[in-house]
Amino acid sequence: MKTGLALMACCGALALAFAALAQTSAPGPAAPGPAPLDPARVQTLPSARDYRPPQGIGFKATDFISENVRLTAQWFYAAENEGRKLPTVIIAHGWGGTAANFRQDAIDLARAGYLVMLFDYRGWGDSDGRVMLTGDKPAAGGTFTGQVRELRGYIDPWEQNEDWFNAISYAVTNPMVDADRIGIRGSSYSGGHVVYVAAHEPRVKALVSQVSSLDSRPYKPFQPDPAKAIADANAAASRLAAGQESYPAERARAVGNLVGAPVGNKVVRWAPVEQADRVNAAALFVLAENEELFSNTNNGILACERVMGPRKMVMIPKITHYGVYGPERERAVTAAIDWFDKYLKPAG
């Protein structure tokens, strides 16, 4: 392959040596997310409606609804393809990221002939968050005025996947979207989300999962005491259910240096690798050979072995988890484009 990636078949078990183990700074699951973001850097990224694309790229920002919450989508396409029906790739961020951080990837895919939709989960980036009442309300319900708090910057994979399903349902309303040629791409924590979504959404014809986190249940050696981590998470869920504790503070750091704290026990119950055998879409896994945040064997490799549709694994040599966002970004994007070209574009 022209990018010089090391290609590996994903049939059978593969033994990998891990030079570094991630340790969490507080009880909970092993850190499974993308590169921790400097809050100051996040604030300097233009909002969706202030963003201006490079020459030759069409762009628009729109809103859609997911479980009664307004989310923001960002659309990218080559200007020469304005108004054409195009194969479409939908992308969302992983743990603690925002859609804005994937704009260059979206531009690269747009130049390759795709319509690309980035979106922020509820409570992240340009999207609204759920609101909760902070005071009393009339007993009868109905319309009333009250104080509310917007919930932002927390980690709930179950909500995020509902946002994925609603993003797809919204995308197909765009006349430029070819509803028969939809692909999805996720990275790190969202690398697990795209597997779960493809397992339950037949409109997805191809997926790319990079530096894939597909099992955030605590396990050794990445969590020294898995039983305690689960017990602590269950206790947190009980406090939430009893009204003794509120949602995490926005962008709190409770798992290593990752931005965004888990809600209750939702993260320790999240294991989309168990759904991989329901995936019939063409699946590409782009992994880092020296993955340090979790076990490739228990995540991307295992998922690749289990998917039922066309499958392939690309192991990028000599890089750690964050290499796909830095020095190997172009290689990872090229691998994704090659995969989508094969399964989303008509032959010839």
User: What confidence tens digit (pLDDT) does each residue in 285-311 have?
Assistant: 999 999 999 999 999 999 999 999 999
Q: What is the reported pLDDT for 323?
A: 97
**Residue recorded with tokens 């179950």:** 158
Contact present, 101 and 41 (Cβ < 8 Å)? no
User: What confidence tens digit (pLDDT) does each residue in 308-324 have?
Assistant: 999 999 999 999 999 99
Q: Which residues pair with 118 in a beta bridge?
A: 74, 91
- For the entire predicted model, the pTM comes to 0.88
Confidence of residue 35 (pLDDT cuts 50, 70, 90): very low
| Residue 342, burial from CB neighbour count under 10 angstroms (0-12, 13-18, 19+) | middle
CA angle 61, 65, 66 (to 5 degrees): 120
Backbone angles phi, psi at 245, to 5 degrees: -150, 145
Q: CA quadruple 47, 53, 160, 94: dihedral positive or negative?
A: negative
Q: State the Cα–Cα distance between residues 50 and 137, nearest whole angstrom.
A: 37
Q: What is the reported pLDDT for 23?
A: 28
Sequence-distant (6+) residues with CB within 8 A of 329 are 104, 105
Mean pLDDT taken over the chain:
88
Would you call 80 helix, strand, or coil by DSSP? helix
Q: What is the reported pLDDT for 348?
A: 61
User: What confidence tens digit (pLDDT) does each residue in 204-255 have?
Assistant: 999 999 999 999 999 888 888 999 999 999 999 999 999 999 999 999 998 8
Confidence of residue 142 (pLDDT cuts 50, 70, 90): confident
Q: What is the reported pLDDT for 3?
A: 35
| 206: nearest Cα among 214, 216, 219, 197 | 197
Q: State the Cα–Cα distance between residues 272 and 214, nearest whole angstrom.
A: 5
Confidence of residue 26 (pLDDT cuts 50, 70, 90): very low
The total of other beta-carbon atoms located within 10 Å of residue 187's CB is 32
Taking only Cα atoms into account, the Rg of the chain, rounded to an integer number of angstroms, comes to: 20
